Structure 1
């Protein structure tokens, strides 16, 4: 009976989520209704969102997982600068932008920031579009009302910021306080997330199955907060990378096992993990002799050992036998083909 109740409740919540996910057009407000965004910020937001089309080499590592041709959204944040989600630009050979007037604008990858997951495109000809100011993603109230706009959409969609729960991606990616929103929307890849003054506060990254972490999962979207970009932005624009040591990377895609440890789902070719003999089907049990609890625990402790190039010891179970594997981490950028333009 309890299982049936949860099933029905999930179905109801999902129906409500889909019903809420309708574009809210501030320009179509009825007499007496409140317009969702002031006219000037709304106009700037509408013309700042562009389509991003990229193409990578067919033999590139990321083409096997992300596809050779990718399409998503970007947001104009400077005279010749567009902010988007980084996975659209990994190992890209060419990048084109299409603005709200249908103009095709050639661009180059300026930076892919593996720590935040954000990417920057510099255009090869003037954009002639007003840049959107960056808001303060740290001060957003939760719950709170926000708006998203993706490529080819005619009006922003109203969202609710519902949580800032930690997100750990299986591909060695950690966000301590992402922006989790409801209802779930489909056009999220690189989409802009805006506050009530039309300031950019986040960039769309993922559709997640659980925005709260409760027993009854509720699907929504994860947006990367723009405050993660503010400090490194001058360096990313100038040199294409952050200053200082790189974040350590092993080349392991993994997930937590109910019985304990992390199951290895994929190992990147020629990565430190691959060269150390770690393979799909292995289980990661411990780091530096201490048992691994979950992905956030793994990533935090890995980073605490030092930057890329630091030595570490993993306890790995393979075919029922445990062994200790000692090797050096590396910078993930060294395993990727340098995008055209950087």
Structure 2
């Protein structure tokens, strides 16, 4: 059964669906992976924020340019040079999406006046996917307050602004459905918006008061699930940042045990289990002999249903450093594999500045 709000919008969004169809030939793993390069056309709309929130929003969004070492593991998948957006949330603090900053050697910001401002990576939070940049000189820009992403109505009107844009684009928040990325990433209630826009990497999502409620992360194939095939964008809710923010600013990481990580990129198979698409070098999975083409069948003897099920149960077993058993099928032969999870940050080159 179609979502009633989606059905009402379907006719007006056919052009957006056509734009998505032109990119739908890529593999499922490519659709799920962080994409730094825009893929669809931004839908400019006439609705605007009130004057004062609009002024604050327009001067708060900056361009983020980062460069990583050519030998860094993420340079092979995300590129050595990356560009996206960020939002000023403090006198010398910018919030962005974390994949722009992974293993970064240098970071520069460009504000709405064209000023180039040197920065350093302050934190990359693998749990939320968000990243923080601390500038080396004063920004002299008004910080945008953080709104309440938990109380947003669905459906509801929001606005997004990315680098080099001169006006916000009005979006509709249409769902909070769970998102599980193939790279061991789970968001229980992301902000899913339509129509799809192309300037989403690190862009700001704002409410009617000009408060920041989300940071752009992905172009997604379907904002509703399997009911209505409409493309849109996933924004990471800012409320996920509020509790760990003081620790991230002070030490570069959240306090407490790290989230467990195995180094497996996978996707659900219609026939059951999870197909292994990639294994990170020197990860717990690689050390245990798990390889591309294997199928993950069970965790602790219990059948794996899908990616959210896998990630929730993995985290329920304990923090990084916990021991676990996966049932793995390789070439029609099943075996039990013991692994010791680890902190994903230990597998990445430490960004300059942290």
Q: Which residue of 2 aligns with 1:285?
A: 297
Over alpha carbons, which structure has the higher Rg? 1
Unaligned ranges ≥5, structure 1? 1-8, 27-35
Q: 2:45 aligns with which of 5, 21, 24?
A: 24
Q: Which residue of 1 aligns with 2:54?
A: 42
Query: Any idea what SS the aligned residue of 1:115 has?
Result: coil
Q: Which residue of 2 aligns with 1:15?
A: 15
Q: Which residue of 2 aligns with 1:127?
A: 139
Shift of 1:40: 1.2
TM-score w.r.t. the length of structure 1 is 0.92
Shift of 1:14: 3.3
In structure 1, distance between residues paired with 2:101 and 2:209? 29
Q: 1:140 aligns with which of 136, 144, 152?
A: 152
Runs of 4+ in 1 over 2 A off after TM superposition: 9-14, 16-26
Tell me how large the CA RMSD over aligned residues is. Answer: 1.7
Shift of 1:214: 2.9
Shift of 1:22: 2.9
In structure 2, distance between residues paired with 1:153 and 1:12? 24
Indicate conservation of the 8 Å contact 1:25/1:156, yes or no.
Answer: no
Unaligned ranges ≥5, structure 2? 1-8, 20-39
**TM-aligned CA distance change 1:23 to 1:256, over 3 Å:** same
Q: 1:90 aligns with which of 95, 102, 114?
A: 102
In structure 1, distance between residues paired with 2:334 and 2:266? 17
Q: Which residue of 1 aligns with 2:121?
A: 109
Indicate conservation of the 8 Å contact 1:49/1:150, yes or no.
Answer: yes
TM-score w.r.t. the length of structure 2 is 0.89
In structure 2, distance between residues paired with 1:110 and 1:216? 39
1:55-102 deviations in Å (ceiling 9; x for gaps): 000000000000000000000000000000000000000000000000
In structure 2, distance between residues paired with 1:333 and 1:96? 23
Shift of 1:11: 9.1
Q: Which residue of 1 aligns with 2:318?
A: 306
**TM-aligned CA distance change 1:132 to 1:292, over 3 Å:** same
Shift of 1:233: 0.1
Shift of 1:319: 0.8
